[in-house]
Amino acid sequence: MNPAAMPPGPGRKVSMPHPRALFNPAILAVLVGLLAPSMATAASAVDLYYERSLMAEAGSLCGLFTPQVQSALVSTREQARGAALRSGVSNRDVQATGERARSRARAAGCNSRDIAVAAQRVRSGFEGYARLVRQDFPGDISGWKADRSVSSQKLLWRLTQDVRQGPAQMRFGIAGRTGADSLMAVVSFPGGASPASARIIMRDRRLTSGAYIDSRGESLRTLPLSRRLPRAGPFETYTAEARSPAGADLLPPGVRSGWALRFPAQAAAALADLDPREAVQVEFVFPSGPPQRLYVEVGDFAAARAFLAARPG
């Protein structure tokens, strides 16, 4: 089967070429077939990030793709970014690669024949992926489940990670109605304990150069999430904007009651900018007693969030 005609699938593997090979049609046909770049080497992950950053920028500047294909391209670009960071490439080098790709796209211009040929290959390669309604984004400990279903009447979870720590249960992610999504945590504590407030605590990206991972030689597959953010800062925090009893449509499976807390939009953007190996802490404060802290794996949050950007075609 022609790889260009195959929708991306998690089992596909490719060996990536140098970025200069972008407009080779045979190579691009393979590039657009990759959905799980976490299996790539550091060099190939960076190359893939370059390729997809270039085409995503060209698509945005020149209106080359439908919203569905553009969101699929951006989603897999973010997966390639995550793969590069997981493989040990520094955040500074990844950012520089993205900027080179965007500059190359701007320099080529919208009338470039090479861009036009590459864009058609992208359309063919992502046609099936653009029609997906749901997609899983596995992580080391916990993954994300994305759902592009929409409703103008009821709240729907669009992106979720389920967390269970001891007797506490939390569903964390993005929920909303058509055109009005919010970052939320829905949580249930033993005895129906009611949190007065909550805040998301994460590494301060402005004051640090990269992720803090206290691995001590341990595999990421078993490294607790509590050891994936700095012990003493620097941190940036986002306090919940609203709190209410959770409706049955938002509660985690098997949970009868709980509390829903909504966080500012800036928190979702900050979360998407973190290293996929990191974790964030959701700290719940009670009228009396100590706070309760639950942890969320960053993983491919950025890719999953990009996947939600357009309804399936």
pLDDT over 90 at 309, yes or no:
no
Give pLDDT, residue 23: 39
Digit-coded pLDDT (tens) for 160-191: 999 999 999 999 999 988 767 999 999 999 98
The residue-averaged pLDDT of 67-92 equals 93
Give the C-alpha separation, 111 to 80, whole Å: 27
pLDDT band at 311 (very low <50, low <70, confident <90, very high): confident
How confident is the model at residue 18, as a pLDDT? Answer: 33
Burial degree of 105 (CB within 10 A; 0-12, 13-18, 19+): buried
Q: How confident is the model at residue 41 (pLDDT cuts 50, 70, 90)?
A: low
Distances (CA, A) of 198 to 139, 187, 205, 263: 24, 11, 21, 9
pLDDT at 179: 67
pLDDT at 200: 99
Average pLDDT of the chain is 86
Residue 16 pLDDT class (50, 70, 90 cuts): very low
CB of 202 closer than 8 Å to CB of 235: yes
Q: Does the pLDDT value for residue 155 go beyond 90?
A: no
Contact (Cβ atoms closer than 8 angstroms) between residue 49 and residue 31: no
Q: Is the pLDDT of residue 38 over 50?
A: no
pLDDT digits (tens, 9 = 90+) for 50-68: 999 999 999 999 999 999 9
pLDDT category at 31 given cuts 50, 70, 90 is very low
Three-state SS for the chain is CCHHHCCCECCCCCCCCCHHHCCCHHHHHHHCCECCHHHCCHHHHHHHHHHHHHHHHHHHHHCCCCHHHHHHHHHHHHHHHHHHHHCCCCHHHHHHHHHHHHHHHHHHCCCCHHHHHHHHHHHHHHHHHHCCCEEEECCCCCCEEEECCCCCCCCEEEEEEEEEECCEEEEEEEEEECCEEEEEEEEECHHHCCCCEEEEEEECCCCCCCCCCCCCCCCCCCCCHHHCCCCCCCEEEEECCEEEECCCCCCCCCCCCCEEEEECHHHHHHHHCCCCCCEEEEEEECCCCCCEEEEEECCCHHHHHHHCCCCCC
85-137 pLDDT, tens digit each: 998 899 999 999 999 999 999 999 999 999 999 999 999 988 888 889 999 99
248-292 tens-digit pLDDT = 989 988 899 999 999 999 999 999 999 999 999 999 999 999 999
pLDDT attached to residue 128 = 85
Query: Is residue 30 over pLDDT 60?
Result: no
pLDDT band at 313 (very low <50, low <70, confident <90, very high): low
Q: What is the pLDDT of residue 35?
A: 37
Q: How far is CA 289 from CA 175, 194, 240, in A?
A: 30, 11, 19
pLDDT at 220 over 90: no
Q: What's the pLDDT tens digit per position in 186-206?
A: 999 998 899 999 999 999 999
Q: Delimit the domains of the chain by residue range.
A: 3-132, 144-306
Token pair of 120, please?
A: 């058609």
- The answer to whether 148 and 281 have CB atoms below 8 angstroms apart is no
pLDDT of residue 259: 97
